[in-house]
């Protein structure tokens, strides 16, 4: 009897031990990875994000649209903008055949602006969408610098692209600018042959009121203003110019950049009466106009102020 009881007890202990052994994984099945932990042993996991609510209090990070020219042909432009290097753009507009190529997602930062300033904002890579336009730029010859023209079909494509971006991101018209505007002297693109007036006629950017410019030109012929006034007006427009009261190199470069856009037939940087009038009108509320929906219709553009 005693021996039988001992045997039964031993069997019970053996069965109990077997029951505590975990069931092995099926043959050929690897155990799952252990959860990741921090150096202090805290388990890491994905966040539990609920996206069923959306705030109405937001806007686009894209505040500016910046236009450039590539100074290269199509093949070289594409290579430079897409391979390892220090430059990129959100879009590249080809010249022949005309087409727009998206190279960087609009939600990401492209490297196109470099050291830059406009209306108190710096480092415009972080707040702009860059458009590179395939164009050879310029050639320096015995007679001076000669800038290349832009095919009309390519200009039409740029206008369509800018309109699409502006509408989706609600970019203010005065914030559609050139690389030269945000880096005067260092950059010249898109140059004096880029037809900014066509963008104005398309209702994309504001433009100086013609009659106001004529009146102000006569006034400046009679009573020219000093350099401090000029620098203050250029700063109001958005240019990075110091109020030194002297016609220094930077001020002359800024004037030349301004002329490229609004009076491209003479980009010498010399402030004649017409240039001074254009600067005054471009920096004054209600004397800048924006095209309306009807042909020939314009209205005062005062949103910047």
Element (H, E) at 144: strand 144-147
Handedness of CA 123, 195, 187, 247 (dihedral sign): negative
Q: Which residue's entry shows tokens 């042993």?
A: 41
Q: Parallel, antiparallel, or unpaired for β 288-291 and 207-208?
A: antiparallel
Element (H, E) at 77: helix 74-82
CA distance 265 to 195: 12
Q: What residues contact residue 66 under an 8 Å CB cut-off, 6+ apart? A: 112, 113, 124, 128, 129, 130, 131, 177, 178, 179, 182
Of the residues 75, 106, 132, 253, only one is catalytic, namely 132
The Cα-based distances of 232 to 176, 186, 298 in angstroms read 21, 21, 27
Q: Parallel, antiparallel, or unpaired for β 64-69 and 144-147?
A: unpaired
**DSSP labels, 204-221:** SS-EE-HHHHHHHHHHHH
Count of positions (residues) in the chain: 305
295 a catalytic residue? no
CA distance 288 to 230: 18
**DSSP labels, 224-289:** ---HHHHHHHHHHHT------SS--HHHHHHHHHHHHHH-TT--S----HHHHHHHHHHTSTTSEE
The residues that are catalytic are 132
């Amino acid at each position: 009897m005693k021996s039988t009881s001992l045997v039964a007890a031993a069997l019970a202990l053996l069965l109990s031990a077997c029951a505590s052994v975990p069931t092995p994984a099926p043959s050929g099945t690897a155990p799952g990875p252990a959860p990741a932990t921090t150096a202090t042993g805290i388990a890491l996991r994905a966040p539990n994000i609920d996206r069923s609510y959306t705030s109405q209090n937001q806007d686009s990070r894209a505040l500016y649209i910046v236009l450039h020219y590539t100074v290269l042909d199509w093949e070289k432009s594409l290579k430079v903008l897409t391979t390892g290097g220090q430059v990129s753009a959100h879009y590249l507009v080809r010249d022949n055949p005309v087409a727009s190529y998206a190279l960087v997602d609009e939600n990401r930062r492209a490297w196109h602006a470099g050291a830059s300033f406009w209306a108190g904002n710096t480092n415009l890579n972080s707040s702009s969408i860059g458009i590179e336009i395939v164009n050879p730029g310029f050639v320096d010859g015995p007679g001076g610098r000669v800038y290349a023209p832009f095919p009309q079909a390519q200009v039409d494509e740029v206008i369509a692209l800018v309109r699409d971006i502006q509408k989706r991101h609600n970019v203010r018209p005065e914030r559609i600018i050139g690389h030269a505007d945000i880096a005067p002297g260092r950059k010249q693109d898109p140059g004096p042959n880029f037809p900014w007036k066509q963008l104005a006629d398309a209702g994309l950017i504001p433009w100086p009121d013609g009659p106001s410019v004529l009146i102000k030109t006569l006034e400046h012929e009679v009573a020219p203003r000093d350099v401090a006034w000029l620098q203050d007006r250029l700063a109001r427009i958005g240019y990075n110019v110091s109020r030194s009261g002297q016609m220094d190199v930077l001020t002359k470069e800024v004037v030349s950049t301004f002329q490229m856009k609004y009076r491209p037939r003479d980009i010498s940087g010399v402030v004649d009466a017409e240039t001074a009038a254009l600067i005054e009108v471009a920096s004054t509320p209600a004397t800048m106009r924006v095209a309306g929906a009807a042909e020939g219709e314009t209205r005062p553009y005062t949103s910047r102020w």
